[in-house]
A and B are shown apart, each in its own frame.
Chain A
Amino acid sequence: MSTVDDRHTLDREAERIAYKPPEVRHDTQGDESTEERVEKAMHHFVKNFNSQTASYLDGCVHCGMCADACHYHVRTDDPRYTPIWKIELFKQAYKREVGPFAFFYRLFGFKKKVTIEQLEEWQHLLYDSCTVCGRCSLVCPMGIDIAGMVSMARHGMFKAGLIPHELHETAKRAAETGSPLGITPDKFEDRVEWMADEHEVDIPIDVEQADVLAVMSSIEIQKYPQSIAATAKILNAAGESWTFRTDGFEATNFGMLSGNAEWQKEATMKLIDAAIKIGAKTLVLPECGHAYMAMRWMGANMYGKPLPFKVFHISEYMADALNSGKIKVKEVDKSVTYHDPCQVSRRGGATQAARDVLNHLGVDLREMKHGGDYNWCCGGGGGVVTIKRADELRHRVFKLKMDQVEATEAEQLLSSCANCRQSFDDSQQHFSWDYTMGSLMEMVAENLEEGTS
């Protein structure tokens, strides 16, 4: 009788029987003791509690329906990816430490103290396998915003020094240099000049006073620099008094994604200060989902009072400009399907804007089944695309997206988020997929009516 070495267990649940990958690594930052890490994780999680979040943690009935809304669970059938399970430790801590009946929970031992081993294990669940897309929040019969809870849990994890190294380093670089990709003001200026020459378009930068401040994401500046020119073409065509600023150009907010509230505030305030300095009435955000969430819905709260200017995602700006006749576009004879960035559409409320733009472009819009507000996430949001160790899972999850897109048989795939675009590009390469993600903004810029550009 032969013996089988048991160093690597078989994963019989996988699509093809395979060896289970080695245990996921757990990253740590800082020199704190394990006790300090647990204490910090819990303290910074509960720090921003309000009645809404407390009722969320108290109100779950453990129906498990959120599992069916989560791309990670749907694609793997791994129960650990049930969204509400991802915040289980924090529910446990809330009930044991601060909930209305914490005393009884401790007295009878109903809830055990969270351990460092558990927190390390949850690193994978809170970062690698949650894009904070919020699809689960829409199925919950109790109306619990689970994605919002994951973001809060990340605050605790960051303070405890328990986040994936890649995301930590990216966020740290953003805090130190102002850009997650290390793009300095000089480099941004160079890219702007290059794009102005390349596309023969005027691109104002560091103008002292302007009505509109436009900002970009590092991903665009570095990987899709044509977005800079596209932004300029559209704002020029609309006849705006506008500018880019070297003292406030970076829209991404890795402080928010990683869970560091201080870094989140710093990044947000840079843009707010720049907009106020030039007397801007409008801040136009780039094609970036989480930048929209960070500024449109969290910016004023970071500022501590209402913002003295309006905030638009570029898709909202374009929809408004097209609807009001400020800009006009030529018809595009193409079938198009549109991927909704979760933070702009489902969680941001700007779902209709992109459709208005596509309507003006006259394309044959082929909505994905379960699209719009219920769209499957690209799998790269929430900082997941930066986490190398999460690649295999991210690609596995992306299959849902591929099926959704292919079923439309559209000629062109578009979105309005550079982070989604990057995630699509990566997965396209991984799967040698036919579809290439395009930019809604670039399509508008390429099809501006003569005389408006």
Chain B
Amino acid sequence: MDLLEFARGPALQIAAYVLVAGTIWRLVAIILLKEKPEFSEPRGPGGLGAALKVIYTRAFTAPVFKKATLYPKILGYVMHVGLFATVFLFVPHIVFFQGFLGFDWPGLPNSAIFVTGVVTVGTAIALLVRRMTSPVLKLISNFDDYFSWLVTVLPLVTGLLIPIRFGIRYETLLAVHILSVALLFIWLPFGKLGHTFLVFITRGTTGMAFERRGAKT
């Protein structure tokens, strides 16, 4: 078994198992915690509609905070959109997903994905610089923040290196890229990257609680 076969085979498979099992475990451990009944008389509806509303609305910053949060918000949007595009709109990735989903969707031209990848990496670097220089972020950051940054950026960088090569064999670069994705899969459920799924719970439960009060969400 060569490196590429290992990466495509057992490495990715085990990483996928860890991703799924870790995510389920983290979610179950949270969801199964006891809920206290809420007896106060509601002012507004606080059900699923309220949860969905805030899951959507909290993606945007209230005008009052826009000025103060503009820079990190822009970086955040670019980073997330860039990640989405490079993962889900790159044709070879779509072919990979089609292998187990059974259907495909239109992708972006390779050149567009390359530019998107470069912009996303640049944004990630800007976020890292901000984290390392802002007094607030320096204080509140920990290992998880920096390691999560690393495992997010590695697949982007290794993916961007594939068409450039630098004299390295395609198969080796691809194997390294897949291994970096495997590392991302393995880390995702455990650290802050868990916000990929936790965001629905945090925003949703806040939405339900505060919309029920008729309070600002």
Q: Which residues of A contact B (CB under 8 A)?
A: 48-52, 54-56, 58-65, 67-69, 73, 77, 79-80, 82, 84-85, 88, 99-101, 104, 110, 137-145, 296-301, 303-307, 310-311, 345-351, 370, 373-374
Contact among B136, B141, B213 with A297 in the assembled complex (CB-CB below 8 Å): B213
Q: Which residues of B contact A60 (CB under 8 A)?
A: 192
Would A64 and B205 count as touching, CB distance under 8 A?
Answer: no
- Minimum distance in angstroms from A105 CB to a CB of chain B: 9
**Those 8 A-B pairs whose CB atoms lie nearest each other, nearest first:** A349-B214, A100-B29, A143-B203, A300-B39, A68-B68, A373-B216, A349-B215, A52-B205
Q: Which residues of A contact B73 (CB under 8 A)?
A: 65
Q: Which residues of B contact A (CB under 8 A)?
A: 25-26, 28-41, 43-44, 54, 58-59, 61-62, 64-65, 68-69, 72-73, 76, 131, 134-145, 190, 192, 194-195, 198-199, 201-207, 209-210, 213-217
CA distance A398 to B67 in the complex (A): 21
Would B140 and A82 count as touching, CB distance under 8 A?
Answer: yes
CA distance A370 to B26 in the complex (A): 38
Would A304 and B39 count as touching, CB distance under 8 A?
Answer: yes
Would A110 and B216 count as touching, CB distance under 8 A?
Answer: no
CA distance A96 to B183 in the complex (A): 23
Would B44 and A349 count as touching, CB distance under 8 A?
Answer: yes
Would B192 and A61 count as touching, CB distance under 8 A?
Answer: yes
CB-nearest residue of chain A relative to B147?
A110
Would B198 and A142 count as touching, CB distance under 8 A?
Answer: yes
CA distance A69 to B216 in the complex (A): 15
CA distance A394 to B140 in the complex (A): 24
- Minimum distance in angstroms from B149 CB to a CB of chain A: 11
- Minimum distance in angstroms from A370 CB to a CB of chain B: 5
Would A348 and B207 count as touching, CB distance under 8 A?
Answer: no
Would A85 and B139 count as touching, CB distance under 8 A?
Answer: yes
CB-nearest residue of chain A relative to B59?
A141
CB-nearest residue of chain B relative to A303?
B39
Give 25 A-B contacts (CB < 8 Å), ordered by A residue: A51-B32, A51-B35, A56-B202, A58-B30, A59-B195, A61-B192, A64-B136, A69-B65, A82-B140, A100-B26, A101-B190, A138-B62, A142-B202, A143-B207, A144-B202, A145-B206, A298-B40, A299-B40, A300-B39, A300-B40, A303-B39, A305-B39, A307-B41, A349-B43, A370-B64
Contact among B31, B65, B138 with A68 in the assembled complex (CB-CB below 8 Å): B65
Contact among B41, B194, B198 with A310 in the assembled complex (CB-CB below 8 Å): B41
Q: Which residues of B contact A65 (CB under 8 A)?
A: 61, 65, 68-69, 72-73
Would B216 and A73 count as touching, CB distance under 8 A?
Answer: no
- Minimum distance in angstroms from A86 CB to a CB of chain B: 10
Q: Which residues of A contact B39 (CB under 8 A)?
A: 300-301, 303-307
Contact among B37, B194, B205, B213 with A349 in the assembled complex (CB-CB below 8 Å): B213
Given contacts A62-B145, A304-B39, contact A137 B65 (CB under 8 A): no
